[in-house]
Structure formats: C-alpha cells, structure tokens
Amino acid sequence: MAGDVLNGVRYVFECPRCLFPKGPSEMHTSKMAATLAVSIFSSNLFAETIYQSGSIGQTGIPWQTLAGTGVDSDVFVGARFEIDQPVRTTRIGGHFVGHPLNPSNEFFGALIHLENETDFPNSNDLSSPDVLGVAILTFPDLSDEVFGELSTAIDPGWYAVIFGSGFYGTNAVGVALRNGVDNGMQSYIAWQSGTGWRELSSLFNNQYFVVEGTIIPEPATSILLLLGAGSLFAMRRCSFARR
C-alpha cells in the first residue's frame, strides 16, 4: 500500500487503477453495496411456506385415540394447490402419526404437476412424468409435524402434494390427522386401491399438509439490482478518499 500527501491530505492508493476509500463513510457505502447485492437473493436463503392447507391441530396424539385419513400402500392422500410465481421447493410435510406395529416408519411424499384445478395424477403408482419429485418421511410414534426434503423448481400452475406408502422403498402404515382448521376451501384428493383417484374434500377436511420453498426472482429484476449494486460499489471504490 502506498500513500501520497497533497495539501495536507493523505490519499491511499492500493491498485494501479483505483484509489480505495478507507474512511468510515466509504466503508459504510461499501457495506451498503454488498448488502444490496445479497438482498437480491435473500428470498433464496430462507424457506417460505408455499402452500399450507390449514392450521395444525393438537400434536402428541397416540395412534389409538386419533381421527385421521389412512396413509399406507392402499390409500394415498393429499391436496391440490396453485402457485402464481416460480418457486424452488425445499421440503414437504404435514401432521402424521405411525402405527405402533410398523416394521418400518418410512413413507413417501410426492409433488405432482397437474393440468388444472380438477386434474388428478396420471398414474396409480406415481411413476408417470407428472411426478416431479419424491421425499421420504418418517412417521412419529406420537402425532407431530414431519417433513421430507424435496428440491425442485416449479413454474406457476396447479400441483398436488401426495403422501402414501408401498413405493419408493417404503412400507409403513400411518394416518394424516384431521384435527386442524382448513385455510378456506381446500381441494383434498386421495387414491385407494381398487377405486383409483377421487375427490376427498366432501368427506374429510381439516387436514394439515405443507409445501415449503423459496421464490425464484425474475431474471430482469435480478440483473437490474446486481447492476445497481455493482455500479455503486465501483463508483465508491474508484473515488479519492480523505484521511
């Protein structure tokens, strides 16, 4: 680092092209520029609730005293939902409990793309291309909120989150509890062996299913913010600074 003194003012020079500011105000400006750049992607750093069917009810309920919808190899259950902006999911889950005699407590959750608000998954075994991703979850011994990681980018449109067992290496038996309060009108659906996919909202309500993720910024917005942050940072770095 070299320094020149002109008219009693010392200028700090750290590279062949730029005079780097070293005063408190310049450091503050540099931090502001860095903060602005980071804030562009702040929505990608923290998961948000993309979809939640309702509020979760009382947890800690044993298998023997609950009311719920079956989740096993003969019954899959879930809900449709719509998003209006691009999202990257991070995890899916809900309020579940497992059977006390389960040989294994693992069950699956799947994220499925739908054509519209009345569509169903295209396959009974969830092997069709509309299945965008699968998470493996674990039934708790007492009812609780559980999640499985599922990372995939999805565009605005209709989707379903479905939970079951018997595929993807799972074979547990459990239930999705029905002791919450729905967030308005929900579109619950289910698959049952022998009957296939069906509407469930007229039969069972107040279930708790959740999809979490991060909102993907629009490309134009990200570029403009990055250019603004970079210009501010470069402008301050290439100015003279008094000490």
Please spell the DSSP secondary structure of 49-111, one letter per residue: EEEE-EE-------GGG--EEEESSSEEEEEEEEESS-EEEEEEEEEEEE-TT-S--EEEEEE
Decide if pLDDT at 36 tops 70: no
Shared-domain flag, residues 64 and 139: yes
Burial 14-28 (b: 16+ CB within 10 A, else e): eeeeebbbbeeebee
Residue 191 confidence (pLDDT): 97
Main-chain dihedrals φ then ψ at residue 108, nearest 5 degrees: -110, 155
Residue 202 confidence (pLDDT): 75
Residue 189 confidence (pLDDT): 97
Residue 231 confidence (pLDDT): 54
pLDDT bin (cut points 50, 70, 90) of residue 232 is low
42, amino acid identity: S
Shared-domain flag, residues 14 and 67: no
Output the six-digit token pair for 103. 């040989």
Shared-domain flag, residues 77 and 175: yes
Question: Does residue 243 fall inside a structural domain?
Answer: no
Q: Which residues pair with 10 in a beta bridge?
A: 5
Shared-domain flag, residues 183 and 232: no
State pLDDT tens for residues 163-174: 999 999 999 999
Shared-domain flag, residues 18 and 125: no
Task: List Cβ neighbours of 117 (8 Å cut-off, separation of 6 or more).
Answer: 80, 82, 158, 187
More confident residue, 47 or 95: 95
Shared-domain flag, residues 97 and 139: yes
| Helix, strand or coil, per DSSP, at residue 120 | coil
Shared-domain flag, residues 104 and 163: yes
Across 9-22, average pLDDT: 41
Decide if pLDDT at 234 tops 70: no
Question: Does residue 242 fall inside a structural domain?
Answer: no
| Helix, strand or coil, per DSSP, at residue 3 | strand
CB 78 within 8 A of CB 119: no
Decide if pLDDT at 46 tops 90: no
Shared-domain flag, residues 192 and 155: yes
* Host domain of residue 33: 2-41+219-237
State pLDDT tens for residues 180-230: 999 999 999 999 999 999 998 778 899 999 999 999 987 655 455 555 555
Alpha carbons 61 and 177: distance in angstroms, whole number: 9
State pLDDT tens for residues 63-121: 887 789 999 999 999 999 999 999 999 999 999 999 999 888 999 999 999 999 999 99
Shared-domain flag, residues 106 and 148: yes
The domain total for the chain is: 2
Shared-domain flag, residues 147 and 224: no
State pLDDT tens for residues 142-156: 999 999 999 999 999
Shared-domain flag, residues 8 and 29: yes
Decide if pLDDT at 56 tops 90: yes
Tell me the residue length of the chain.
243
Output the six-digit token pair for 228. 């603004």
Shared-domain flag, residues 229 and 143: no
